[in-house]
Chain A
Amino acid sequence: MTGALEIAIIAGWVMLGLAFAIGFARLVRGPHLPDRIVALDMLALIAICAAGLQALATGSTAFLDLALVMALVSFLSTVAFARYVEWVAFRRRGQANPPPLEQADD
C-alpha cells in the first residue's frame, strides 16, 4: 500500500459519502414514487461501491462477497418495487377519481 493509494481511498470515501448524502436527499424529497425507487436503487449501488472500497482498503475478501450479495438483493428489490408501481398504476386506472400522484404510494 503506497501513500497514493491511501489518499485515493480517502478521497473515494469522501466522494461516496457525498453521493450517498445527495441520493438520500432525493429519496426524501422525490415528488413521486418512481423517483424514490430510482434513488433507493442508486443508494444500493453506492453501498456496493463502498463495500468494494472497504475490500480494497482492508484487503479482506469478505467485503467482495458482501458487494455481490448486495448487488443481488438490490436487483430483486428494484424488480419488486417496479411490480408494485405497476400494480398501483393498474389500480389507479380502475378508480373513477384517483388520488393525486403525490399520494399514490399508500
Chain B
Amino acid sequence: MIDLVIDLVVVALVLGGTGFALVAAIGVWRLPDAMMRMHASSKAGTLGGSMLFLAVAFGLGDLSVAVRAVAGIAFLLLTAPVASHLIGRATYLLGVPRHPSQTRDDLDGRYDLARRICRAPEARRDAAPEPAEGDAGR
C-alpha cells in the first residue's frame, strides 16, 4: 500500500518536473523580450528541477540520497534568483530593446554605469520642482 502511494507520488513528481522544464523552454521560445524570457526560465525551470530532485529523493528512498536531493533543492533555490537578477541587470545595462507593452522604466536615468551606482528614487523626488505633483503621480 505504502509502495503504491510512493510510486504515485514519484510518477506525479517526474511528470510535473519534466512538464515544468518543458514549460520553461516554451516560455523561452515564445516570449518576446529578453527580460520575459529570463522570467520564464528562472521560475518554471527552478520548480521543475526541484520537483525532479524530490522525485529522486522519494523514488530511491535512501537517507544519503534524500540529503543530497534536499541540498540540491536548496542550492537551486539559493542560486536561481541571484543568477536571474544578474542576467536581468546585464540585460538592462546593455540596453536591449524591450517589448512595446512594457511602458514604464523605473530605473530610467537613475543608473550611473561609469560609477556602477544606482541612485535612490528619493534623490529624484527632492530634485523635482513641485513635490505635490510628484505625490499625486505616486
**Count: A-B pairs, CB below 8 Å:** 193
Contact B49 A34 (CB under 8 A): no
Contact B72 A71 (CB under 8 A): yes
Complex CA gap A55/B113 in Å reads 45
Contact B7 A2 (CB under 8 A): yes
Cβ contacts A70-106/B at 8 Å (1 or 0 each): 0110010011011101101110110000000100100
State which size class the interface on B falls in.
35 or more
Closest to A3 in B: B7
Q: Which of B52-60, B99-107, B119-127 is near enough to bind chain A?
A: B52-60
Contact A53 B79 (CB under 8 A): no
Complex CA gap A61/B56 in Å reads 9
Nearest-Cβ distance from residue A65 to partner chain B, whole angstroms = 7
Contact A90 B113 (CB under 8 A): yes
Interface of B is mostly: helix
Closest to A67 in B: B72
Nearest-Cβ distance from residue B52 to partner chain A, whole angstroms = 4
Which residues of chain B from 31 to 59 have any CB-CB distance to chain A below 8 Å in the complex? 34, 37-38, 41-42, 45-46, 48-49, 52-53, 55-56, 59
Q: Is B118 an interface residue (CB 8 A)?
A: no
Contact B94 A56 (CB under 8 A): no
Contact B93 A9 (CB under 8 A): no
Residues on the A chain within 8 Å of B86, using CB: 78-79, 82-83
Contact A25 B52 (CB under 8 A): no
Complex CA gap A68/B75 in Å reads 8
Complex CA gap A8/B12 in Å reads 8
Cβ contacts B15-38/A at 8 Å (1 or 0 each): 101110110111011000010011
Residues on the B chain within 8 Å of A38, using CB: 28, 34, 37-38, 41, 87
Residues on the A chain within 8 Å of B29, using CB: 22-23, 25-26
Answer whether A19 and B25 are a contact pair too, CB < 8 Å, given A42-B45, A68-B71.
yes
Contact A23 B25 (CB under 8 A): yes
Residues on the B chain within 8 Å of A78, using CB: 83, 86-87
